[in-house]
Structure 1
Amino acid sequence: MGPRRIVCLTEEPTETLYALGEQDRIVGISGFTVRPAIARKEKPKVSAFTSAKIGEILKLRPDFVIGFSDIQADIAAELVRHGIEVWISNHRSVDGILDYIRRLGALVGAGERANAWAGELRRGLETIAAEAATLPRRPRVYFEEWDEPPITGIAWVAELVRIAGGDDIFPERAAEPLAKQRILEDPREVVARAPDIIVGSWCGKKFQPGKVAARPGWDAIPAVRDGELHEIKSPLILQPGPAALTDGVRALAAIVQRWAERRS
């Protein structure tokens, strides 16, 4: 049967378990959870991303806690010291997200449903990629996940940009797992790489295209010159879960498609 009382420290396990019909196992969620919306109404919020209410989590008597990445290592260690079983996933690619869905499904006895859904998600990505392959030209894309300092996108985002028909201008940065390794020490690097599209997804705050366009020297960037500055809300793209492979990639594809249509 697998674990019966699960605390989800990030959104992606919550969204996955709801999609698999296993939401009754969830006893606590992250305060940053927005998908699915009903989770915020039904489940107590016991964590942020870098902090958690350890006492509140213990009161929920979880038999399994799910978190993500080294950023939640301290939370995990504290819970382990209290005898709680913790799974910290560290997937950072499209394949990794699909495998995560399969593994989580298997853990709760929903392996067949998870495998089927992962296959459906994969086919959806293949459909988007096939449509993007018909574009006459691929735009260069700068994806920014934070502004002060500028931090550019992570691996799965760069992959989704490619699937949507664009080319990430910092592929070498996207391969770096830690945010500090994706900081642009000199924002003029973006000017030199001349993106056709700028996509902002500032984690937890609204993207400000006017502020970006006003950066010194950025008026020479094709994306700024042509008004191609767009926002994708961070819950859709910055979490390595189902949202990125559905609404997130579709939002990217729509931006690229409109860019292409304006140049046809």
Structure 2
Amino acid sequence: MAYNSQQRLRTVVDQMGREVQYPYPPLRIVSLVPSQTELLFDLGLQKQVAGVTKFCIYPPSARHSASVIGGTKNFDFAKIKAAQPDLIIGNKEENYQEGIAHLEQHFPVWLSDIADLPGALDMIRRVGDLTGKLHLAEPLAAEIKHSFDKLRLAATAPLASAAYFIWRKPYMVAASGTFIDDMLRRAGFRNAFAGLGRYPEIAPEQLARVAPAHIFLSSEPYPFGEKHVAEFQEICPAAKIQVVNGELFSWYGSRLRLSAAYFQQLRHPAIPE
């Protein structure tokens, strides 16, 4: 492992419980996850980020200032090698095991593993510590926690049932054990399909039978739009159907600063004048 006189070898434990030895502070970082890429930039590490995925859309400059090293589940190993990273940051769910295993043979790879808000806040703090930016990561995590604490205290009505769709043909929802499930609960909704695996396929007849009060059509990974609302309204005529910002339900980095206010608006829409 190459490192210069500004760095020292350091060993940490990632969110998977794996020991990772890397040169500290890292001077060339490859990020394999969009939400974590945005976090690195928000921690002032734009000069250190040497590689990002094609899905790393925030900030918009990320894919211009760093090398694009493929997707989250199909890495371009040659481009990663050319980026000469002294640290790679990925995620257990968003990346693929075979690709991570290959990278680990050549580079230090730190993985997050996030299923809820506390896990996301822990990741933010750990990435801050990893990169020498804990002084910025701590207040960021505190700001996010405070916004969700306020959201919880503002909750009054009982939880309404909601189905959160992430895919079409076949229909798929986010169910128990997912970060989205935790966000739904914090937003003030009860997951109508919480008892079914993590991302189960749902038949139209199942949806009609469960009859959730709300149906949320996520803007990602499937790009649901207003044109799909009628399709679901036909199955559940009584449901309130909305296209929602998938980033604010599923991105677990610094974008969480915007989530609590969005959830409050979703739960209590402003009455038009």
TM-score by length of 2: 0.80
Q: How does 1:209-248 map to 2 (within 5 A)?
A: 209-211=226-228, 213-214=230-231, 218-220=235-237, 222-223=238-239, 228-243=240-255, 245-248=256-259
Cα offset for 1:166? 2.0
Could you tell me how far 1:196 is from its partner in structure 2? 1.8
Q: How large is the Cα RMSD of the aligned pairs?
A: 2.4
Instruction: After the TM superposition, list the runs of 4 or more consecutive aligned residues in structure 1 that deviate by more than 3 angstroms.
Output: 208-213, 233-236
Equivalent in 79, 83, 88 of residue 60 of structure 1 = 83
Give the Cα separation in 1 of the matches to 2:126 and 2:208: 41
Counterpart-to-counterpart distance in 1, 2:36 and 2:264: 25
Out of 154, 157, 160, the residue aligned to residue 139 of structure 1 is 160
Count how many residue pairs are aligned between Structure 1 and Structure 2.
Answer: 246
Q: Map of 1:40-119 to 2, 5 A cutoff?
A: 40-70=63-93, 71-81=95-105, 83-119=106-142
Compare 155-164 and 119-128 and name the one that shifted more: 155-164
Is the 2:232–2:241 contact (alpha carbons within 8 Å) kept by the matching residues of 1? no
In structure 2, do the counterparts of structure 1 residues 110 and 219 end up closer, same or farther at CA, with 3 Å as the change threshold? Answer: closer
| Distance in 2, Cα, partners of 1:80 & 1:65 | 9
Does 160-169 or 46-55 show the bigger shift? Answer: 160-169
Unpaired runs of 5+ in structure 2? 1-23
Select 2:203's aligned residue among 172, 186, 198.
186
Q: 1:41 to 1:114 in 2, by over 3 A?
A: same
User: Could you tell me how far apart the structure 1 residues matched to 2:103 and 2:167 are?
Assistant: 30
Runs of at least 5 residues in structure 1 that lack an aligned partner in the other structure:
none
Deviations 1:52-93 (A, max 9, x none): 111011011101111112542122122223x21112222121
Corresponding residue SS for 1:229: strand
1:112, 1:19 → 2: CA distance? Answer: 12
| Alignment match, 1:152 | 173
TM-score, reference length from structure 1: 0.83
Distance 1:120 1:249, change over 3 A: closer
The 3 A distance-change label for structure 1 pair 3 and 246 is same
Once the 2 structures are TM-superposed, how far is the Cα of residue 38 of structure 1 from its aligned partner? 2.5
- Cα deviation 1:177-198 (Å, max 9, x = unaligned): xxxx422343322222222221
Q: Which has the higher strand share?
A: 2
Question: Which structure carries more helix by proportion?
Answer: 1
User: How far, CA to CA, are the matches of 1:140 and 1:210 in structure 2?
Assistant: 23
Return closer, same or farther for 1:74/1:107 CA change in 2, 3 Å cut-off: same
- Identical-pair percentage: 24
Tell me the amino acid that sits aligned with residue 106 of structure 1. D
